[in-house]
Amino acid sequence: MNQSIADDDITALDATALSAAIHARRVSCREVMAAYLARIHRVNPACTAIVSLRPDDVLLAEADACDAELARGPSRGWMHGMPQAIKDLAHARGLPTTLGSPLMTDFVAPEDGLMTARMKAAGCIVIGKTNVPEFGLGSHTFNDVFGTTRNAYDRTRSAGGSSGGAAVALELRLLPVADGSDFMGSLRNPAAWNNIFGFRPSQGRVPMWPAQDVWVSQLATEGPMGRSVRDVARLLGTQAGASDNAPLSIAVDTDTASANAPFDLQSQRIGWLGDLDGYLPMESGILEACQRGLGRLEGLGCAVAPARLGMPPARVWDAWLVWRRVLVASRIAPLFLQPGNRARIKPEAVWEYDQAEGCTANQFLAASVARTQFHQSLLRLFERHDFLALPTAQVWPFDAAERWPRTIAGRTMDTYHRWMEVVIYATFAGLPCISVPVGFNEGGLPMGMQLIGKPQDDAGVLRLAAAYEAVIGDWLAVQPPV
């Protein structure tokens, strides 16, 4: 075994390369764990990406056990001995699932969630959790339990959310690959703001369990993040697959495990939605950054043309609000059973709960009808385009001391999440979508662009992203300060 690999060289490897190094015995699982723990202790205090970190000696002992297993025979899987921190909205047995809420700090998960169990079965060692906003609400990762997660490129700026801790841990090389979840852009927005790839799978591709409801709550999904598309595809292959506990889950598409399969770029038609004809306010420079990214795709042979949503976006937003309020309120409703809890719950969560109180079944069904019509409008759009593109965010990473942006380009935001409206379209239609980097502004802050695929074409989205990754090496090479 080669003992000369430096810690920084170990943590610089993407997850696929790290897996190969472990299985070729070029580096031991103990060396990998020691390298990551050293970096976490050095870097994490300034950014608060990883929380509930388990003791070093326990983790090193588990790494030793992985080395012993590998010496005796077959590995557990491609993630054998690799450190993994689970997003703090998901369960990892024996670790707190705080949801970023002071009301949940004493709750310790009695079992693994399905996603965690699948990653453990692939061989990972769970080292702790990644930080989230309270209840995962709002694309800015701060809470009263652990504090604020800071952007990898500027510690005064937001990391995004709700997978903000995961994104920062990944870009700062505190993890080789990261898991997260996405309701309103939570895998995409923090990926954009930290110069990595965040993939929202097709609805049902990665089933979520345990869950309060498995029939109606179909807007949130778990999924992968990575510093390379091949890592995203590899982790998706581990997370995905139908489950009897999730009756609306879908079977694995075997092609999702190969982002580098043959792909005819010359025939790909990309519809550029931009700011939806001025409907979505955008900070200066975001559309231009995305257009530079589209230029890279055109250089590969893709045809890029303007596209229109096909349904008034204000109607989509109104239907979205009803769905979101009902689903969010039902998730946090048990906490409101204790009257004293209301004062200890994030104001934005209280607002969601109160807004849902007056919603009737007829109103919810009307919103579902509107959602169906929106889905049909996108299917018609896909008759002319193979993929759709639009920015991942409407603002650059903002001051971490703010709760959320009150205005964008002179327009007032009427809700705490209106500034995130650009991410709802893939979610509402249940479509696969990846955020890919599009470079930086003059202040050195990153941005991303969403690439949305046809229904259940996760593999196609990953292949397009992999081809794009090959021509943005200059942007990916920009490293954050440590």
Q: Yes or no: say if 123 and 81 are a contact pair by the CB < 8 Å rule.
A: yes
At residue 461, the pLDDT reads: 97
Residue 257, pLDDT score:
53
Banded model confidence at residue 2, pLDDT cuts 50, 70, 90 = very low
Single-letter code of the amino acid located at 304: V
Per the prediction, the chain carries an average pLDDT of: 96
At 367, list the tokens: 């919103």
Please write the tens of the pLDDT for every residue from 274-311.
Answer: 999 999 999 999 999 999 999 999 999 999 999 999 99
- Residue 234: its pLDDT value, please? 97
Q: How far apart are CA 156 and CA 159, in angstroms?
A: 9
DSSP type of residue 480: P
* Closest to 446 measured CA to CA, from 179, 217, 235, 189: 189
**Distance set, CA 87 to CA 130, 133, 192, 227, 253 (Å):** 5, 11, 18, 17, 24
Per-residue pLDDT at 153: 98
Q: What are phi and psi of 434, to 5 degrees?
A: -120, 140
Q: What is the pLDDT of residue 260?
A: 63
Q: What stretches of 300-435 show up as alpha helix (H) in DSSP?
A: 313-332, 347-357, 361-381, 424-429
* Averaged pLDDT for residues 187-206: 98
Work out whether strand 269-272 and strand 387-391 pair parallel, antiparallel, or are unpaired.
parallel
**Which of 420, 452, 422 minimizes the C-alpha distance to 435?**
452
Going from the C-alpha of 183 to that of each of 4, 440, 472, the distances in angstroms are: 43, 25, 28
Residue 235, H or E segment: helix 229-239
Residue 148 host element (H or E): strand 147-148
Residue 182, SS3 per DSSP: strand
- Output the pLDDT for position 254: 53
* First-to-last C-alpha distance (Å) of the chain: 30
Contact 434, 405 (CB under 8 A): no
Dihedral pair phi/psi, residue 355, rounded to 5°? -65, -35
Give percent above pLDDT 90 in the chain.
94
Q: Give the count of alpha carbons within 13 A of 456, CB side only.
A: 10
Mean pLDDT across the stretch 109-132? 98
Check: CB of residue 301 under 8 Å from CB of residue 266.
yes
Average pLDDT on 135-146 reads: 97
Whether 174 contacts 36, CB under 8 Å: yes
Of 6-15, 114-123, 150-159, least confident by mean pLDDT is 6-15
Helices and strands per DSSP (H, E), number in the chain: 15, 15
Q: Starting at the edge strand that comes first in sequence, how are the strands of the sheet with 83-87 ordered?
A: 50-51, 125-130, 83-87
pLDDT at 116 over 90: yes
Query: Over the stretch 220-272, which tens digit does the pLDDT of each residue have?
Result: 999 999 999 999 999 999 999 999 999 999 987 655 555 666 788 999 999 99
What is the mean pLDDT of the segment spanning 150-177?
98
pLDDT tens for 330-362 read 999 999 999 899 999 999 999 999 999 989 999
Nearest to 294 by CA among 471, 95, 90, 116: 471
Rounded average pLDDT over 34-63: 98
DSSP state of 46: G
pLDDT attached to residue 37:
98
Nearest to 133 by CA among 441, 357, 420, 445: 420
Distances (CA, A) of 293 to 96, 274, 341, 448: 40, 12, 46, 9
Length of the chain: 482
Contact between 355 and 417 (Cβ < 8 Å): no
Q: For residue 222, what is the enclosing H or E element?
A: strand 221-226
Alpha-carbon gap, residue 140 to 1, rounded angstroms: 43
pTM confidence score:
0.97
Give the model confidence (pLDDT) of 361-420 as tens digits: 999 999 999 999 999 999 999 999 999 999 999 999 999 999 999 999 999 999 999 999
Q: For residue 167, is pLDDT > 70?
A: yes
Cα torsion at 45, 48, 52, 54 (round to 10°)?
Answer: -40
Q: Which tokens belong to 246?
A: 């999730």
Q: How far is CA 70 from the centre of its chain?
A: 31
